[in-house]
Amino acid sequence: MTMTDKIKVAILGSGNIGTDLMIKILRTGERLEMAALVGIDAESDGLARARRLGVATCDTGVEGLVALPVFEHIALVFDATSAGAHRHNERVLRAARPDIRVIDMTPAAIGPYCVPVANLDEHLDALNVNMVTCGGQATIPIVHAVSRLARVHYAEIVASIASKSAGPGTRANIDEFTETTSLALEKVGGAEHGKAIIVLNPAEPPLLMRDTVYVFCEPADQQAIADAIAETVARVNAYVPGYRLKQEVQFEQYGEDGPLYMPGEGDRVGLKITVFLEVEGAAHYLPAYAGNLDIMTSAALATGERMASRLAGAAA
């Protein structure tokens, strides 16, 4: 394999996320080549679209994928199914090909949490990485940026997404969403304690994804923190063009001389930082208001590209 070769990939899940990711790979993939889209509904729009685009399809799930002749040439599998399904898919894939790479886009969290701008370099050789959640991909970079400059005692995020952009998989995994995001705020973001809330907004017309990040940290240079957050937003925006700050970062003092108290830790002194974010989708397959789904597919694509580069370099 040379540094210019592409690696073959498959996507498990022919729903909104899997189909959007397929289109992204076909349009902009630099080192990734679509080998197969796999679902369980032969009549799904995703499989029909894949066939029209010349991509091999399979409607018998992961068992069908490992039976395809092309499977032996696939180096990377994206799983866009559900948390429960991923646990089964991982077992089947690992039994068939112990060395295959898997990027998990569900909240199953079998492998380490991965947020490209925060910790991708640490996990380029992992066999299974977990892309946390849409809320995690949007907010963890902000908490991570603060934690590099100051000790973060507590981080809380509220992810508000259009109800229409929450499909069956998202709705079935609400509990996993909050648990996985909360843990990732700590393990990747660097917060001592993390909390995540998701809101399904039924507004019509549907609103773009909005994320609010609250960070309670020790006293620190406010301008340095604001600059670090701006830099981080720009880095995420490089692979999620619709990701942006909605207004300037807000600072408030809590503790002895401030009117605020940190949740559960009223005797501490420091800064409360509030960050308002918006995520607009690229509308490759999903509507623009579905920024929550777009940030997941974009983050997974960025991760896959970096892993492909790693594999190409190792084989060169």
Binding residues: 14-17, 165-173, 292
Please say if 114 is a catalytic residue: no
Which of 58, 114, 134, 217 is catalytic? The answer is 134
Comparing CA positions, the residue from 212, 202, 276, 280 lying closest to residue 241 is 280
Whether 8 and 33 have beta carbons less than 8 Å apart is answered as yes
Residues belonging to the binding site for NAD(+) are 14-17, 165-173, 292
CB burial string 230-268: b at 16+ within 10 A, e below = eebbebbeebbebbebeeebeeeebbeeeeeebeeeeeb
Peptide bond between residue 116 and the one before it cis (omega within 30 degrees of 0)? no
What are the strands of the beta sheet with 32-38, ordered from one edge?
Answer: 56-58, 32-38, 7-12, 74-79, 101-104, 128-130
- Count of residues making up the chain: 316
Residues marked as catalytic? 134
